[in-house]
Structure 1
Amino acid sequence: QIEQTLRVYGQGRRLRESSNFLMSQLRREYPGPAPSAHRESFNPGCLILWNELQARQPVGAATIAACVLDYLELDPLARTAVMQQGLHLDAPAAAAALWKSLDNPDKKPTLTAVPPVLASWENLTSSVEDGPDLVHRPDSINLERALHSQETRCVILHGEPGCGKTRLVESLAQRVARGQVPFLKGTRFFRMDAASMAPQALESLLTGVLTTVGPQDNLILVIENFGRLMEHAGSGLGRIAQPSVRLRIIGILNESDFASLPAKESQLSGSTWTVPLEPPDIETTLAIVESSRPELEKTYGVSIRAEELGRICQIADKYVVEIQRPKRAMQVLRWACDEAKFEADRTPSGELTVVNFEVAAQAVSHRKNIEKEQIVGTRGVEYYREELEKQVIGQTEAAKAVATRILVTRRGARSLDRPAGVFLFAGQTGTGKTLMAEAVARIYSHHQGSLHKFTMGDFHSEHTSAAFVGAPQGYVGYVQGGGLVNALQKDPNGVLLFDEVEKAHPAVWDTCLELFSKGKITDMQRNTGYANQALIIMTTNLCHDVIDAGLSRGHSWERIVADTKAAIPRQIHEKSGRAYFRPEFLGRIDELIIFKPLDNSTIAKIARLELEKKIQQHKEQSSVLLECMDNDDWELICGWLSDQCQGDPAHGRAIERELIKQVSVPLATFSVPPGTQRTVRVGLNLSGIVLLDEQGNLIGD
């Protein structure tokens, strides 16, 4: 009934009619004597209405009174109706007088009414006022300065995803509600997300809000995804700059959306103040994480070790690179709580579980598909070197250089503002450059799928760089985005392989300068991929003739390496007439590694490795166990395979082809009953590899 009466006010009815109706309702709902009114707060025209609103104080009449005061203060039509009757209402003074008459005079008065036009908005002030204390960031001063400006009606708060834009506004709203920001005293914050509404509803929403409550200077509207509102609200946005509009707007948007804003910002004229927000430092991030600890412990039923939050924030910086502080630290802490809760729920005792660095590392391992041992840094350079040498034969120096870089990355002894490592593998065909990249992917990210390969022969012309960052808007392929950005967003902890870079147009590498220097790249849709935890590997056959010449002249390997490194910057792209690599591009490479040519003993070791793979393959897939006729025959077979592949630059592939011809093809006709396993003996004669069954019969031709 009270709400109906207030709506009568809003429709401009005479004050006497609406007040009489309200009094009749109040007498029926709240019978009893009325306390004395505070005449100093009202002129006589409002006294009768106020007396009725204060009836039955124990029932909560103070809330009703505050509600009406708030409504009359905020709703322009209601206020106009009162003023037309000559009834000036000093709402703040009335509220103060009312609360002085209550039993608890120290309690802060709260005006609870929400203008109908804001009914669908979140009352941010109410949400945070009595909630947990939020961390006050020092850079909040920039937002406060913008809100203090008499000319500013719209503040645009922009920054990278996860840098704490929303939490900064929530913290400010809490401080305002608690009276800690004097110039914003009595101001209330309302919040909505522009992305949650259909585009056609945004125009009417903005127009309705600005028309109804626009003249109020004690309202701040917080709009998430503000770029969407600016995109679809059309001319309605220009109302913010009108002199009659006194409320203020805080528009929150990500940095990528802000990049497209200047063309539309003219609608707001000089009434806009843009406030960039950088991610907080580690101390502020740690304070934010610490403040959330009690709530997370209650939600998940775990105990979080406060002394280990710093280390948890550190692994968040390393492995959750797609979002910024403080959100990524909070993300890892939630993962850790979820991991601990899972372990507690799957055990019969269900005891309270402790969340510490080990649990957080385990959670990141599961989420990012990275071995826990790599996250906690328990492995040394020898482990990585040995793993690489097992898979790539004969490249000890290359394996050591890559292993050292991986260890530096795992231990955090490097800048996070650029990629984890940028390598250029140069050398003759077949020396294991691509194989090394595949091996690095397996040990760096724990799975083969983390290798994202770009065949640079597909980038032969200048315009093909669009495959990295996507086509411009209006062109075919725009909606797919950039392939390089997509790969980094999918797996920011993986390995990027640019294979045979000499086949790409030199202009293609101009696109990658920011990637190599800052560890990030943005596509045409303003999506950003982060590579500060990714390894970047390029392979090239450039200057193989320099290596050949040095070997033929008997030069030392150290001199050949020096000559090759000196020759690479001088190589000219035939079609464009430009150097393959600009000096600033080469300057961003961490390691230029020259792969050694393979000698006979190395090729024999490769043959042994390929032969062991073939034996395991037939055991698992064909139930055929390959055994050597004589232990010494394995070495003879590997030597024979090495001789067969002499002159073929792709030694590994040549050996594999020979094994298929000599072993796999003959075994294709070998019958193995289901559920059984047969043994085949392997030997060597003048014609090549021979296969014999259990009875000594020759298999194949």
Structure 2
Amino acid sequence: MIQIDLPTLVKRLNLFSRQALEMAASECMSQQAAEITVSHVLIQMLAMPRSDLRVITRQGDIGMEELRQALTVENYTTARSADSYPAFSPMLVEWLKEGWLLASAEMQHSELRGGVLLLALLHSPLRYIPPAAARLLTGINRDRLQQDFVQWTQESAESVVPDADGKGAGTLTDASDTLLARYAKNMTEDARNGRLDPVLCRDHEIDLMIDILCRRRKNNPVVVGEAGVGKSALIEGLALRIVAGQVPDKLKNTDIMTLDLGALQAGASVKGEFEKRFKGLMAEVISSPVPVILFIDEAHTLIGAGNQQGGLDISNLLKPALARGELKTIAATTWSEYKKYFEKDAALSRRFQLVKVSEPSAAEATIILRGLSAVYEQSHGVLIDDDALQAAATLSERYLSGRQLPDKAIDVLDTACARVAINLSSPPKQISALTTLSHQQEAEIRQLERELRIGLRTDTSRMTEVLVQYDETLTALDELEAAWHQQQTLVREIIALRQQLLGVAEDDAAPLPDADTVEDTQPESEQDNTGAVPADEAGSVQPEETAETVSPVQRLAQLTAELDALHNDRLLVSPHVDKKQIAAVIAEWTGVPLNRLSQNEMSVITDLPKWLGDTIKGQDLAIASLHKHLLTARADLRRPGRPLGAFLLAGPSGVGKTETVLQLAELLYGGRQYLTTINMSEFQEKHTVSRLIGSPPGYVGYGEGGVLTEAIRQKPYSVVLLYEVEKAHPDVLNLFYQAFDKGEMADGEGRLIDCKNIVFFLTSNLGYQVIVEHADDPETMQEVLYPVLADFFKPALLARMEVVPYLPLSKETLATIIAGKLARLDNVLRSRFGAEVVIEPEVTDEIIAASPARKTARGCWNRSSMATCYRRSRCCCCRKWRLTRRLPGFGCRQWTAHLRQTWKMLRTTSPSQRMKRFYEQVARFPADRMVYRGPDDGLTRHCRARRSIVNGRCGGRRRHHDPAGCDSHVTGHAVLSAGVRGAGAA
């Protein structure tokens, strides 16, 4: 017995059978019957006029009243229950299962009707109904009924297929006549009705498919390509050609039917049912009077389909028909699925002819977008300029990795069109963000007011701050809404003028009417005027031109200028889709800054020395060499096939090699997320090459990809940094021969990885002694450096790279770099701890004297500043204060800590409520090491005792007078010379 649940069986019943089952259940409830039996359902079917059972029993000369009485005998003998609902009897469920098996597997019906249920009943009537009723039904020949089922039931109302409104829409004839309509869709009919988009840049692939389809045998193309390259669009292009008559006579008037494999498999849980459907579908395609080409998308799903519970794989059903050429089939699948399923089945793959569909270039994708622009303009009600189409193709190719053209470019264009259309009617995202912020601030204000009212909060500073922020938010929101409404008005007027001009242009392009028609439609007064109108009369007829009269073109130019002026401040609404909207979509999807997407790449590379010179100091020769080679590569003057660059940056540590790569990733590609850094010290063994390209078949990790190859596949426009390349095993470097020369490399799965848009950088300390010795003579340095590098790198690999030496830094350059780093430390202290930093000139000299400079600066910072800043942040110091004698004790407005007597850097402030902590800190220093600098004369006086500061005494005596009158009074800033260890003790 088949395994199918009861709800599924009920759903398979047609309208008449379901109504009979419902009425039988209602009758059982009224009779308080325990079960719903087969007899209950048959009685209700007999009561329905023009049902299958009623029509068949009439043709079998069976008395319906006698049959009804024979079925009723069993109903009155069943047990009854007054409290429970009636249940389906086991025999009723088995009867429905037998009927569905017969309908789906043998008769190819999609629904279970009363006549089929009668056929299942006649197979063994004594199992389901009383003997008296079974004897009456013996007058019906079961085999004859099944063979001539259509003729027996042609008068039945169940032979009419009901539509959505419940009305008859057509006659249900033999199921084999409706298999194509049920499980396939006519793509050629969609092409005739204009429901298919135009297909461009695929003429070669379509011609190849036509050649294969016109063969006598094995005329079955299989379209293979990555997801999103346009495999289905290729079939649509063939359908458009068939409709246009641009195919050979052998393919004219041919229908392309797209197989719905999901519908074909739906409900086919019975063994052999799916194969039965597909075999009937194949027979219908072969015997169709109209030539049919069957298109199977995702054809790899056919492999193994239908073989549940020992069933037959339907791919084996296809092979004989495909080999004989009886069934023309077009299959489509991806490369991975083709290798996984088709190539492993040699008998199946040889019956298909491969049609490769590669990803189109950015230029071809732009052509495709031009063909689709009219469709998207009509769908969204916006205009699209050509710059937007080019930007969608180029930017998506560069920044949207993991997807293919033209699919990703179409998605970007569609999203940009939707945004422009949405902003015409609804507020933009900027207004929504400010509105949300204002709601959040309102909630915080209400909470603070509540706490102040009940005494939980006494400090009103936060309340004042939030109120100020709330007012600023409301002001910005009002300004933004006003700008939006202003731009919206201008945009709508611009769109109306453009539509008017486009309508006029279409009218002008319309075919001219015949001369006879023109003469017939002219008024009599105009027909009399055969000559030209005189100039004086023409002037009287034409409207008088004034300063207020403006043509639509002039008015459009004025409105466009006004809108451009408003867009300089903020872009909220646009009258059309341009490259700014495309760049905004790409920026939101990828996180690349919008200004980077809007820049011209050639202009960035042209100004590369200026951009790099602001960050990389003292390496003018290296920057000039990089600029020369990158400019040559971007101008397409390089040898075809090579990557954008392969540079070996050689030089001592700490001179800017890695920083150069980081800055180039920012400048060329818009962010450090487009930099792939690989530490080559992790690849000191030969076998570690599998980590870069992926494990080969049969090894652990196969199919997961490698670190390098997956990074390039995901980011084909990026920078790859091989850090400390001299530490890698020499055999690992052999991997880059083809990458640096041909612009491609193979991963562990055999796929070719395109590296033509990658910039490779290799950093190394090899030969730094030579670079230091010959820093003053670059030409000699290049000649002496090459033999040193050739001792490690093989000549073939070294010839594929551009060696860029980095010179040691001069003292002046180091001073500039240190000043920049200390300025960044100053910003960190100000932003995180509210502190101020005073840096004296001697600090830079002391750092330069140490080696290396970066290590000295980092060490001083770690040993001193962190502890002090942690203490200051814990004390919540946020403002300066002044201490006078009238306050309890003395302190200082500012203080500076010497770091090992060489680096005077930390200058903080302290609130008045924390004065005692400062006094305690000062008291821990020896008195002879404390120095006070007056605010006026800068004189330095030594304090006699620490107690004089702690107790608020000046010169050992307690006095209360004007602090300005005492030259030893602490009104300046104290320089604590006790060192770091003493400062951290407080």
Query: Into which bin does the TM-score normalised by the smaller protein fall?
Result: 0.7 to 0.9
Determine the structure 2 residue equivalent to 1:56.
none
Q: 1:502 to 1:621 in 2, by over 3 A?
A: same
SS in 1 for 2:734: helix
CA separation in 1, counterparts of 2:623 and 2:264?
54
Query: Match of 1:226, as an amino acid?
Result: A
Unaligned runs of 5+ in 1: 31-59, 79-112, 573-579
CA contact (8 A) 1:195 1:228 kept: no
How far has the Cα of 1:539 moved from its partner?
1.0
CA separation in 1, counterparts of 2:670 and 2:361?
31
Determine the structure 2 residue equivalent to 1:639.
845
> Is residue 563 of structure 2 the alignment partner of residue 497 of structure 1?
no
CA separation in 2, counterparts of 1:429 and 1:605?
18
Determine the structure 1 residue equivalent to 2:615.
391
The match for 2:857 among 623, 647, 655 is 655
CA contact (8 A) 1:431 1:597 kept: yes
**Per-residue Cα deviation, 1:400-442 (whole angstroms, up to 9, x for no partner):** 4445666677788879965443322111222221222222233
The match for 1:367 among 556, 578, 589 is 589
Q: 1:337 to 1:607 in 2, by over 3 A?
A: same
CA separation in 2, counterparts of 1:437 and 1:197?
56
The match for 1:241 among 319, 327, 332 is 319
CA separation in 2, counterparts of 1:305 and 1:115?
43
SS in 2 for 1:391: coil
CA contact (8 A) 1:369 1:445 kept: no
CA separation in 2, counterparts of 1:267 and 1:370?
49
> Is residue 576 of structure 2 the alignment partner of residue 354 of structure 1?
yes
CA separation in 1, counterparts of 2:878 and 2:726?
51
Determine the structure 1 residue equivalent to 2:416.
336
CA separation in 2, counterparts of 1:261 and 1:28?
42
**Per-residue Cα deviation, 1:265-294 (whole angstroms, up to 9, x for no partner):** 412264221112234466754442123223
CA separation in 2, counterparts of 1:415 and 1:481?
29
CA separation in 1, counterparts of 2:691 and 2:268?
36
Between 1:393-402 and 1:607-616, the stretch displaced more is: 393-402
Q: 1:276 to 1:696 in 2, by over 3 A?
A: same
CA contact (8 A) 1:611 1:659 kept: no
How far has the Cα of 1:542 moved from its partner?
2.0
CA contact (8 A) 1:469 1:484 kept: yes
> Is residue 778 of structure 2 the alignment partner of residue 557 of structure 1?
yes
SS in 2 for 1:242: helix
CA separation in 2, counterparts of 1:320 and 1:415?
26
How far has the Cα of 1:303 moved from its partner?
1.4
Between 1:469-478 and 1:509-518, the stretch displaced more is: 509-518
> Is residue 764 of structure 2 the alignment partner of residue 696 of structure 1?
no
Q: 1:288 to 1:588 in 2, by over 3 A?
A: same
Determine the structure 1 residue equivalent to 2:806.
595
CA contact (8 A) 2:604 2:667 kept: no
Query: Match of 2:688, as an amino acid?
Result: T
Query: Match of 2:187, as an amino acid?
Result: L
Determine the structure 2 residue equivalent to 1:214.
282
CA separation in 1, counterparts of 2:272 and 2:836?
76
> Is residue 821 of structure 2 the alignment partner of residue 610 of structure 1?
yes
CA contact (8 A) 2:896 2:908 kept: no
The match for 1:291 among 371, 388, 396 is 371
CA contact (8 A) 2:228 2:408 kept: yes
How far has the Cα of 1:222 moved from its partner?
2.7
Determine the structure 1 residue equivalent to 2:330.
250
CA separation in 1, counterparts of 2:833 and 2:363?
59
CA separation in 1, counterparts of 2:275 and 2:580?
53
Q: 1:204 to 1:15 in 2, by over 3 A?
A: closer
Q: 1:179 to 1:24 in 2, by over 3 A?
A: farther
Query: Match of 1:498, as an amino acid?
Result: L
CA separation in 2, counterparts of 1:282 and 1:449?
23
CA separation in 2, counterparts of 1:176 and 1:132?
13
- Count of aligned residue pairs for this structure pair: 606
How far has the Cα of 1:529 moved from its partner?
5.7
> Is residue 242 of structure 2 the alignment partner of residue 176 of structure 1?
yes
> Is residue 256 of structure 2 the alignment partner of residue 189 of structure 1?
yes
Q: 1:491 to 1:307 in 2, by over 3 A?
A: closer
Determine the structure 2 residue equivalent to 1:124.
187
How far has the Cα of 1:225 moved from its partner?
3.5
CA separation in 2, counterparts of 1:197 and 1:472?
39
Query: Match of 1:24, as an amino acid?
Result: E
Determine the structure 2 residue equivalent to 1:576.
none
Determine the structure 2 residue equivalent to 1:97.
none
Q: 1:169 to 1:512 in 2, by over 3 A?
A: farther
CA contact (8 A) 2:363 2:393 kept: no
Q: 1:487 to 1:206 in 2, by over 3 A?
A: farther
**Per-residue Cα deviation, 1:584-615 (whole angstroms, up to 9, x for no partner):** x44543x4211111222222222112211111
Query: Match of 1:189, as an amino acid?
Result: I
Determine the structure 2 residue equivalent to 1:94.
none
Q: 1:685 to 1:305 in 2, by over 3 A?
A: closer
CA separation in 2, counterparts of 1:177 and 1:330?
25
CA separation in 2, counterparts of 1:610 and 1:331?
44
CA separation in 2, counterparts of 1:384 and 1:134?
43
CA separation in 1, counterparts of 2:845 and 2:265?
71
**Per-residue Cα deviation, 1:213-243 (whole angstroms, up to 9, x for no partner):** 3343444333334345447788643433315
Q: 1:272 to 1:587 in 2, by over 3 A?
A: farther
CA separation in 1, counterparts of 2:827 and 2:869?
14
> Is residue 233 of structure 2 the alignment partner of residue 167 of structure 1?
yes
Bigger RCO (CA 8 Å, 6+ sep): 1
Q: Which has the larger radius of gyration?
A: 2
The match for 1:20 among 151, 170, 178 is 151
Between 1:524-533 and 1:273-282, the stretch displaced more is: 524-533
Alignment of 1:38-53 (within 5 A): none
Unaligned runs of 5+ in 2: 1-13, 17-51, 57-102, 110-142, 162-166, 308-312, 429-483, 496-574, 881-892, 910-972
> Is residue 297 of structure 2 the alignment partner of residue 224 of structure 1?
yes
The match for 1:115 among 167, 172, 180 is 180
How far has the Cα of 1:463 moved from its partner?
1.5
SS in 1 for 2:667: helix
How far has the Cα of 1:252 moved from its partner?
1.9
How far has the Cα of 1:676 moved from its partner?
1.0
CA separation in 1, counterparts of 2:713 and 2:361?
24
SS in 1 for 2:614: helix
CA contact (8 A) 1:498 1:537 kept: yes
CA contact (8 A) 1:663 1:689 kept: no
How far has the Cα of 1:625 moved from its partner?
1.1
How far has the Cα of 1:256 moved from its partner?
4.4
The match for 2:710 among 474, 486, 489 is 486
Determine the structure 1 residue equivalent to 2:198.
134
RMSD: 4.4
Determine the structure 1 residue equivalent to 2:926.
none
Determine the structure 2 residue equivalent to 1:452.
676
Determine the structure 2 residue equivalent to 1:101.
none
CA separation in 1, counterparts of 2:637 and 2:145?
75
Q: 1:9 to 1:470 in 2, by over 3 A?
A: closer
